[in-house]
Amino acid sequence: MGAGHAHRLYRHADSPVHALPPHTKLAATLAFVVVVVSTPREAMWAFALYAVLLATVARQARVPAGVLLRRLLIEIPFVAFAVLMPFVAEGERVDVFGLSLSVDGLWGAWNVLAKGTLGVAASVLLASTTGLRELLLGLQRLKLPPLLVQIASFMIRYGDVITDEMRRMRIARESRGFEAAGVRHWGVLAKSAGALFIRSYERGERVHLAMVSRGYAGSMPVIDEVTASRAQWSYALALPFAALAVCLLGWTL
Amino acid sequence: MHVPDGFINAPVSAATGVVAAGALALSLRGARRELDERTAPLAGLVAAFIFAVQMLNFPVAAGTSGHLLGGALAAILVGPFTGVLCVSVVLLMQGILFADGGLTALGVNITDMAIVTTVVSYAVFRTLVKVLPRGRRSVTVASFAAALLSVPAAAVAFTLIYAVGGTTDVALSKVATAMVGVHVLIGIGEAVITALTVGAVIAVRPDLVHGARGLQQRLKLRVNGELVDAPGAAPAPARTSHRKVWITGLVTSLVLAGFVSFYASASPDGLEKVAKDKGIDTRTKAHASEDSPLAGYGVKDVSDARLSGGLAGVIGVGVTIVAGSGVFWALRRRRSADTSPASVPEGV
Amino acid sequence: MDAVTPSAPSLEVSGLAFAYPDGHQALFGVDFSIGRGERVALLGPNGAGKTTLVLHLNGILTGGAGTVTVAGLPVGKRHMAEIRRRVGIVFQDPDDQLFMPTVREDVAFGPAAAGMKGAELEERVATALERVGMEAFADRPPHHLSFGQRRRVAVATVLAMEPEILVLDEPSSNLDPASRRELADILRSLDVTVLMVTHDLPYALELCPRSLVLSDGVIAADGGTADVLSDEELMRTHRLELPFGFDPRSVTMGA
């Protein structure tokens, strides 16, 4: 994974969604997902409307439907879980094609599938329209504790470096004829993991030296700040507000 | 097991979010104690390491493979506070960047996978390191036990969260059985890998293992001080030789306890069954409102009996483990005086 | 550089001795002085104490005997921020040095930590990047650059602090010949004092008129680079070896 993965998720384009300040997008995505999660599952049409809303955003952001759908695959483990639900859940049962299924379980499966999918789709839209750097700036702007943002930022900066070291170690192992084939090889792999930890930690110490050498005294200087205009906020928040309207309808109807 | 959106209802998600935020605030402070002003770069690099090592596949058999979750490893290597921070940052980034785990479920995921694993594993680790003789082997053994328990502990925590805020009415005993059962198995893998990895680090840079710091300083003095041997620092002699037996017993009991409860809970016991029968008829009415943000607790009233049945399973596992280790610990204390070292088999 | 006494040398090290907490002693009384604008190579075998010495120059390691003075200012707790601004260390692995998400932010880190911001900061960053020919890469993440480019950005991060003395740890390691030459051109074009720690003897000869040999924690030789490299006895004693076929006497020096 690491930053490399993130790069694959990010799609460069010149769209109004890409141009939005990152913290407005983060806030909008979070608000949208909260609204979706709070919607009663019986209001099936509401989820269809949410999907339409997301599709509109995707269109605006010029994220092709195929890309979006492919990235939904990350959900598969939970689809499996959802499929199980009707069989294991309690309560009133109904016969479908000769199988006795729990009504509550069916609703539960629908609930998890619908909300989970919408959640993943919203996150994917966020990730594909916002670069790594911007995301960090957005988190910083949303008043996440600075130390946490710094840790995240170092993690992203060095994710690739460390993944690369791990890959080199694997190549070195394989060049010497080692093929990890089962539990008995765990010792060798764990040694690699241990070595990787030592390298990472020592690199952390060296990075710290480099920082101290350039005047670091415990807090990072703020070099970039992102700001958003009123118009940008209202553009970004159009999504969660539209969703909220749908949600309220879902509760009243 | 990144929980997606919609799995846990809104109020409970929010509540776990508050728990997670509080724990993070505490960890931020604690991490500064562990790493002083080096916190940001070191924790960042360790987070990157956890990230990378989760991709390192450990082949099990026939094409299947497992990977490390890393909570226990982080806690042992860099301390509990930094460990919580590192794993949380990994989860946060996975949620935002890869849509791995829902944004509203972030609180659940952090509570479960960052906080519970780290705290449980560190508590187990420190306790064992204190009890066991000083030495590398003890650290390895303690890491094994810590990682072994941390994974089912997370599963138990998840089950509890599900009990309060689950959106689907699955019998808790089933959730508990599935979660804890599967995770005891995962825990064994996690334990072996963690122990081996900690062992590998300790062999090369013992000073880097946070959980073993007090321990290693003394060893180091002895190694380097050719002229000035570390005199008073040697551990009390009475505490050493018998520990291996008892830790072997301790770990075996833990593993057994885990297994026994796994199999035991696979067949529902009487209490649960009764509860289930009772539960069915009282259930259906609650459905319409169940998903409302306020309904999370309503479910509990209806299925009180069943809840207790399910909880019994969960608590059973915990109690077995605690009791098992407690008995062995007590035995160790009483007998360590008269067991002869010669009859002592080597540790795990 | 207002506080600088005009006559003071850029760097003065006297009687510097240091032992690590584990008892391993790395420096046994090091004395040397580097005048303003000089380019000096610090040569020595592995384990001679070169890195330990470098870490003393900006006060990361302290607590041993002896003193280090940078342009008249003693290295110590009192002036630490100023010392770290004046001594710019370029570490061996540019990945350690470039820890910020983009090149621009990385170059800005030092001056920003010293309290600079706004247009002044932007200009400082632009100038530093220009001096190493990397101005077109300002918004790129460091890990998208080639190794040679990263090394140049690393130099820029330090130049942005307008240091009194530039300390480079193995600047030519892992560079291909073209990048190696480009870096040499850049270093030659700078008007700062340079101390270059290196194993690359031809590079030392090319760039530094003067060389110090550090061996077993003391300065074993101090003189013209060509003379040092031609002294076969000295070279052998301190495990310094020239590349095959390289004869320092046959090289005509440009600078």
Distance from the B319 Cα atom to the nearest Cα atom in chain C, whole angstroms: 46
Residues 6+ apart with CB under 8 A from B31: A147, B39, B43, B79, B81, B82, B85
Q: Are the Cβ atoms of B224 and C23 closer than 8 angstroms?
A: yes
More confident residue, C191 or A80: C191
DSSP conformation class of B166? B
Name every chain A residue with its beta carbon within 8 A of the beta carbon of C60.
209, 212-213
C neighbour chains, 3+ CB pairs within 8 Å: A, B
Touching check for A207 and chain C: CB below 8 Å? yes
pLDDT at B9 over 90: no
Query: Domains along chain B?
Result: 10-209+240-337 (1.10.1760.20)
d(C-alpha B141, C-alpha B194), whole Å: 10
Name every chain B residue with its beta carbon within 8 A of the beta carbon of C23.
224-225
Touching check for A145 and chain B: CB below 8 Å? yes
Residue of C nearest to A224 (CA): C105
Q: Are the Cβ atoms of A182 and B55 closer than 8 angstroms?
A: no
B neighbour chains, 3+ CB pairs within 8 Å: A, C
pLDDT digits (tens, 9 = 90+) for B34-43: 777 777 888 8
d(C-alpha C35, C-alpha C55), whole Å: 20
Q: What does the pLDDT read at residue C223?
A: 93
**B286 closest CA partner among B272, B273, B300, B274:** B300
Residue with tokens 């010669």: B342
d(C-alpha B116, C-alpha B153), whole Å: 7
Distance from the A63 Cα atom to the nearest Cα atom in chain B, whole angstroms: 16
Q: Are the Cβ atoms of B28 and A148 closer than 8 angstroms?
A: yes
Distance from the B240 Cα atom to the nearest Cα atom in chain A, whole angstroms: 28
Distance from the A75 Cα atom to the nearest Cα atom in chain B, whole angstroms: 8
List the alpha helices (DSSP H) in chain B: 10-35, 39-53, 71-78, 80-98, 106-109, 117-131, 136-165, 172-204, 213-224, 243-266, 270-283, 287-290, 298-302, 304-335
Distance from the C15 Cα atom to the nearest Cα atom in chain B, whole angstroms: 26
pLDDT at C215 over 50: yes
pLDDT digits (tens, 9 = 90+) for B200-247: 888 887 777 887 766 544 433 333 333 333 333 333 333 333 444 444
Q: What does the pLDDT read at residue B335?
A: 38
Q: Which of A163, A222, A223 to mutate to test the interface with C (most CBs of C within 10 A)?
A: A223
Name every chain C residue with its beta carbon within 8 A of the beta carbon of A153.
100-101
pTM above 0.90, yes or no: no
Q: Chain A, 199-228: which have a CB under 8 Å from a chain B CB?
A: 200-201, 203-205, 207-208, 211, 216-218, 220
Q: Are the Cβ atoms of A203 and C110 closer than 8 angstroms?
A: no
Answer for the pair A154, B44: CB distance below 8 angstroms, yes or no: yes
Q: What does the pLDDT read at residue C6?
A: 56
Counting Cβ atoms within 10 Å, is residue C250 exposed (0-12), middle (13-18) or buried (19+)? exposed
pLDDT digits (tens, 9 = 90+) for B248-298: 444 444 444 444 344 333 333 333 333 343 333 333 333 333 333 333 323
Q: Are the Cβ atoms of A155 and B51 closer than 8 angstroms?
A: yes
**A246 closest CA partner among A16, A119, A238:** A238
Q: Which among B43, B170, B203 is the nearest to A151, CB-wise? A: B43
Residue B279: alpha-carbon gap to chain centroid: 32
d(C-alpha C110, C-alpha A8), whole Å: 32
Q: What is the mean pLDDT of residues B136-159?
A: 88
pLDDT < 50: residue spans in chain A = 1-7
Distance from the C90 Cα atom to the nearest Cα atom in chain A, whole angstroms: 8
In this structure, are strands C87-90 and C165-169 parallel, antiparallel, or unpaired? parallel
Q: Are the Cβ atoms of A223 and C105 closer than 8 angstroms?
A: yes
- Coil, strand or helix at A119: helix
Q: What does the pLDDT read at residue A160?
A: 83
When mean pLDDT is compared over A97-101, B99-103, B128-132, C32-36, the highest value belongs to: C32-36
pLDDT at C252 over 90: no
Q: Which among A136, A212, A221 is the nearest to C112, CB-wise? A: A221
**B114 closest CA partner among B77, B148, B75, B145:** B75
Beta bridge partners of C65: C17
When mean pLDDT is compared over B23-32, B236-245, C18-27, the highest value belongs to: B23-32
pLDDT at C2 over 90: no
Touching check for A6 and chain C: CB below 8 Å? no
d(C-alpha C83, C-alpha C87), whole Å: 6
Q: Which of A9, A155, A167, A201 to mutate to test the interface with B (most CBs of B within 10 A)?
A: A155
Q: Are the Cβ atoms of A214 and C110 closer than 8 angstroms?
A: yes
Q: Which among A157, A223, A224 is the nearest to C99, CB-wise? A: A157
More confident residue, C226 or B134: C226
Q: What is the mean pLDDT of residues C45-59?
A: 87
Touching check for A157 and chain C: CB below 8 Å? yes
Q: Which among C22, C23, C99 is the nearest to B41, CB-wise? A: C99
Angle between the N-to-C axes of helices A186-213 and B71-78, in degrees from 0 to 180, rounded to the nearest 10:
50
Q: Which of B224, B226, B229 to mutate to test the interface with C (most CBs of C within 10 A)?
A: B224
Q: Are the Cβ atoms of A210 and C55 closer than 8 angstroms?
A: no
**A158 closest CA partner among A193, A219, A203, A202:** A203
Residues 6+ apart with CB under 8 A from B63: none
Strand locations in chain C, DSSP E? 11-19, 25-34, 39-43, 65-70, 73-74, 87-90, 165-169, 193-197, 210-215, 218-224
d(C-alpha C68, C-alpha C12), whole Å: 6
Residue of A nearest to C158 (CA): A214
Residue of A nearest to C154 (CA): A210
Touching check for A11 and chain B: CB below 8 Å? no
> Which amino acid type is present at position B308?
S
Name every chain C residue with its beta carbon within 8 A of the beta carbon of B220.
22
Distance from the B242 Cα atom to the nearest Cα atom in chain A, whole angstroms: 27
Q: What does the pLDDT read at residue B60?
A: 66
Name every chain A residue with its beta carbon within 8 A of the beta carbon of B97.
5-6, 9, 127, 132, 135
What pLDDT band is residue C228 in, cutting at 50, 70 and 90?
Answer: very high
pLDDT digits (tens, 9 = 90+) for B150-189: 988 888 888 888 888 777 777 777 777 777 777 888 888 8
Q: What is the mean pLDDT of chain B?
A: 66
Q: Which two tokens stand for residue C179?
A: 């990048």
Q: What does the pLDDT read at residue A82?
A: 74
Q: Which two tokens stand for residue C21?
A: 């907490």
